[in-house]
Amino acid sequence: MNPDARGRVYKITLLYFVASIAMPAGARAQEAEPAMADHVAPAAPQQPMAPMSAASMVDVMQMRDDAAFGMVQVDQLEHAIDGSGAAAWELEGWYGQDVDKLWLRSEGERESGNLDARTELFWDHAFAGFWDWQFGARHDSGLGRTRDWAAFGVQGLAPYWIQIEATAYLGEQGRTAARLRAEYELLLTQRLVLQPEFELNLYGRSDVQRDFGSGLSDAEFGLRLRYEIRREFAPYIGVVWAHRFGDAADYARAAGRDAADAQLVVGLRMWF
């Protein structure tokens, strides 16, 4: 084939290729034109919205970012399965706005017929993105003599998503105490969560009526594995190690208890 004939073949082939692409697009455009022509705009509102203030608009559109809300979380409701019959609970609840809340915390345990409970009530004020000041009171009841304390502390989320609670207490007759607690949630799956927890309690002086020892009185480490049937409801199994030090250990031994022990527990975690 000579060069001129080859050139004409190339031109004819190119024109055919361009036409095969352009024709369907043109056909689609022609089909769309009647559809656009048939479109009818909706009628204007028969009753236009009356003028309203910004506050009223926020209420109508439900756009308030300072609305009050509340929650109750039972973090631990557990029973020892080692034959001791020990049971324990730990719960907290709050109600308020993003910055200021009323915060209630309760925890305790029953062992060998003895009840030991602690209840705290705080005003909670956010001072940073993940941190709150807490000011309030603590009441110890059950075992021995009741004690009342003024309480102030901080709680929040530390780096690596570690939940921290650090609280100091001032009680009657110059008594002082401090508590440090840390916990972390490790998601093994979307429903299976491993939760380690560590707690320290310190006191300025010994209290034989409450089994407190001066200095570091006791430490506790728990490791619980829960399965979230729903986010609001999760059974768990775990192990808890507790150790008493100094005078607190002596008081425990005098009462026929061990200064250090470990318990297997089963329980429920729920919130609403």
More confident site: 177 or 254: 177
Q: Does 206 have pLDDT greater than 80?
A: yes
Per-residue confidence (pLDDT) for residue 112, from 0 to 100? 76
Q: Over the stretch 167-198, which tens digit does the pLDDT of each residue have?
A: 999 999 999 999 999 999 999 999 999 999 99
DSSP state of 209: T
In sequence order, which residues have a C-beta less than 8 Å from that of residue 30 and are 6 or more positions away?
none
More confident site: 20 or 218: 218
Q: Does 1 have pLDDT greater than 70?
A: no
Hey, CA dihedral for 254, 87, 264, 82, is it positive or negative?
A: positive
Per-residue confidence (pLDDT) for residue 83, from 0 to 100? 74
Q: Does 160 have pLDDT greater than 60?
A: yes
User: What's the CATH fold of domain 69-271?
Assistant: Porin (2.40.160)
Distances (CA, A) of 80 to 83, 104, 243, 262, 265: 7, 25, 17, 10, 4
Q: Does 57 have pLDDT greater than 60?
A: yes
Q: What's the mean pLDDT in 195-213? A: 94
Instruction: For residue 127, name the pLDDT band (cuts at 50, 70, 90).
Output: very high
Share of the chain above pLDDT 90, in %: 63
Q: Please give the torsion angle defined by the CA atoms of residues 118, 122, 147 and 176, in that order, rounded to the nearest 10 degrees.
A: 110
DSSP state of 212: B
Q: What's the mean pLDDT in 105-134? A: 93
Instruction: For residue 145, name the pLDDT band (cuts at 50, 70, 90).
Output: confident
Question: What's the whole-number average pLDDT of the chain?
Answer: 87
More confident site: 81 or 4: 81
Per-residue confidence (pLDDT) for residue 74, from 0 to 100? 97
Q: Does 143 have pLDDT greater than 90?
A: no
pTM for the structure as a whole = 0.76
Per-residue confidence (pLDDT) for residue 138, from 0 to 100? 98
Q: Over the stretch 4-45, which tens digit does the pLDDT of each residue have?
A: 555 555 556 655 555 555 555 455 445 545 556 677 888 877
Per-residue confidence (pLDDT) for residue 259, from 0 to 100? 92
CA distance 91 to 159: 24
Per-residue confidence (pLDDT) for residue 37, from 0 to 100? 61
